[in-house]
Amino acid sequence: MLSFALADEGRTVKIYCDEEGMAKLVKGLERLRAEGDHIHLLTPSNGGHELDEKTPRGKKAVGEVILEWAHD
């Protein structure tokens, strides 16, 4: 399980993950390092498979997370 949610009126990002979700996040970061630009993590409703639609508490999760390499 891997999901992201906004909290505190959008000032906080919460990341929920189990062992499998942690592996997906690490794999995404490794892919970002290899590709050197950006990657998208998506829910199934957004055409992906990396993120879950809901948090463990049953709330709607963020549908897309973009990891962007911000190096010069």
- pLDDT score, position 12: 97
Q: Would you say the pTM of this structure is higher than 0.85?
A: yes
Helix extents (H) in 1-72 = 19-35
- pLDDT score, position 35: 84
List the chain domain ranges: 2-68
- Is 38 strand, coil or helix? strand
* CA terminus-to-terminus distance, the chain: 33
pLDDT tens digits, one per residue of 21-65: 999 999 999 999 998 899 999 999 999 999 999 999 999 999 999
Query: In the structure, what pLDDT confidence band is assigned to residue 72 with cuts at 50, 70 and 90?
Result: low
- pLDDT score, position 21: 96
